[in-house]
Chain A
């Protein structure tokens, strides 16, 4: 089955620690995205990538970093500079090249110990 997988489902971070959230897709999509979801708020874009080896900051990139070394993978690192990391993180992908629909993974919930 084609789709987007995110792991782990739950992740715990200690103070001062960097953690990396995994996102993999086997849909052969060019574009990938990371969103943050907080209670009572919509999704906010952290980073996006329209092609391998290229990515752009979204609306709330501070304290986060990404890489796009492979088409199918777009990991997100939450650094110690992100002072309020507790949230639900959603990864998405879209075919690109004019096809707009984004397909979402199941999400990772990050909690701070």
Chain B
């Protein structure tokens, strides 16, 4: 079945440090790939996505590139802020044989990020 492996946390950084959160997946075919963020006590928000190989998703200074050859979708940010402290989830979404997405996301276990001033 489909699965996703995320970098284990928690990750603790100082403000303005460089962030990488690794994500690798196994899936049939070529899934769409998502990063979601969850702030304390809230639901998840879409951070960025990529739907085909070599696509780069970006939002709020975060970036991730769909690497088909390494089945990876690592999340990066050049300079983190205290407000980036949250839990980050990588989630591939598979397509069926006909290329149509059928809705189900597979979530990683989440990576807790804490940024100190």
Contact = CB atoms under 8 A, between A and B. Distances in A.
Chain B's interface size range is 20 to 34
B109 A104 contact: no
Interface in A83-111: 90, 92, 94, 96, 98, 100-107
Most buried by A among B51, B102, B105: B105
Interface stretch (B11-19, B38-46, B78-86): B38-46
The B interface is mostly helix, strand or loop, or mixed, namely: loop
Contacts of B104: 45, 48, 58
A92 B103 CA distance: 11
Contacts of A74: none
Contacts of A105: 43
A40 interface: yes
A34 interface: no
Interface of B: 4, 32, 34, 36, 41-46, 49, 51, 89, 93, 100-105, 107-110
